[in-house]
Amino acid sequence: MSKKTEPRYAMVVDTKLCVACKACVLACKSENDVPDGFCRDWLVEETRGVFPDLRAENRSERCNHCAHPPCVHACPTGASHVNEGGTVLVTHHKCTGCKACIGACPYDSRFVHPDGYVDKCTFCLHRVQRGKEPACVEVCPTFCLHFGDLNDPDSEVSKLLRTRKHKVLHPETGCEPNVYFLEGGPR
């Protein structure tokens, strides 16, 4: 019997389908009790070019659960760590709120929770472990958010990345993000 491969979780965002409704942001806040004034995911509405040759891109962004996470390396207490499926998490009771991880993250994905620990997107691992999708993925009305296992060649995320042009944010950081953004057209 072949040994089961560890999952490598990723999110794939189809920017062409996003209508900027921000339901993903609201669902995340509700699911994860994110306090007022903070967010674990957010929407970037970017416009490039000059009228009439304009290009718009809506991106639902969050922690990239990087394969090489500088936030984890910067954390002096081990609170920031790599967990199941490559998710990057924070153990709240080990976090002293020193902000070293916030300074190390090139994506501005973290914030200090009013209760004193650093917080951020968890890929909703608590839901995934119960066989559900992350809250943002479940709520998106245009189905532009996809979550799954990149180590499974038959997963939707693997198929999308095999067949569609895509990018990650700031690849030059060397962090190897696991949130991908689909661009128009096939590969």
Which residue in the block uniquely carries the two structure tokens 């993903």? 24
Of these, 10, 23, 150, 160, which contacts ligand SF4 (CB under 6 A)? 23
Candidates 1-9, 46-54, 55-63, 156-164; binding stretch for ligand SF4 (CB under 6 A)? 55-63
Chain-centroid distance, C-alpha 138: 14
- Asked if residue 86 binds ligand SF4 (CB under 6 A), the reply is no
Q: What distance, in Å, lies between the first and last C-alpha atoms of the chain?
A: 35
Instruction: Check if the beta carbon of residue 44 is closer than 8 Å to that of residue 59.
Output: yes
Smallest gap from residue 2 Cβ to ligand SF4 (A): 30
Q: Please say which residue, 138 or 152, places its beta carbon nearer to ligand SF4.
A: 138
- Asked if residue 15 binds ligand SF4 (CB under 6 A), the reply is no
- Asked if residue 69 binds ligand SF4 (CB under 6 A), the reply is yes
Instruction: Check if the beta carbon of residue 67 is closer than 8 Å to that of residue 86.
Output: yes
Residue 107 is given by DSSP the state: T
Of these, 8, 10, 12, 66, which contacts ligand SF4 (CB under 6 A)? 66
Q: Which of residues 110-129 bind ligand SF4 (CB under 6 A)?
A: 110, 120-124
Angstrom distance (rounded) from CA 46 to CA 171: 18
